[in-house]
Amino acid sequence: MPSSKKRILIADSHPTMMAGVRLLLGNLFDVTVMVADVQSLSDAVVQTDFDLVIANLSIPRISNDNVVSLVKRLRPGLRIIVLSVHDDPAVISECRSAGADGIVLMREAVNDLIPAVETVLRGDNYVSPSIRKVTA
């Protein structure tokens, strides 16, 4: 990773999850944490120059693929990793089709999130290994 820290927005409606993600990534990246609903996510993406959004798919009042679509519509070049409790191939396919640059399962985030962030910030895509097995 380059020496300058990349700016990351964490969009999640669960404060405990955001705190854990911030703790996991905080030494390597400039992490901005935000309790997210659709409006605050939209405002942050438009008003601040982030390098990456990490979004939990459980944001209230918005569907899985719409979280990704919303970010991509507001800032087409902005990279996005989705955190999901779902390894359902249909959910994964929706996220990929909407333009997700990375998909990490919540249960694997401790091991997968840093490699996912590094991979996505390099411009490549990342999918948790167990998702690859389910969707292969």
pLDDT of residue 53: 95
Assess if residue 60 is contained within a domain. yes
Model confidence at 9, in pLDDT bands (50, 70, 90)?
very high
Assess if residue 15 is contained within a domain. yes
Tell me the CA distances in angstroms from 22 to 30, 78, 80, 104, 114, one per residue in order: 9, 19, 16, 15, 11
Among residues of the chain, what percentage have pLDDT more than 70? 88
pLDDT of residue 63: 58
> Which residues span the domain enclosing 51?
7-125
Assess if residue 135 is contained within a domain. no
For 13, the token pair is 């409606």
For residue 39, what are the contacts with CB-CB under 8 A and spacing of at least 6?
A: none
Number of domains in the chain: 1
Model confidence at 135, in pLDDT bands (50, 70, 90)?
low
Assess if residue 136 is contained within a domain. no
- pTM (2 d.p.): 0.88
Task: Dump pLDDT digits (tens) for 81-114.
Answer: 999 887 888 888 888 898 999 999 989 999 999 9
CATH number of the domain where residue 49 is located? 3.40.50.2300
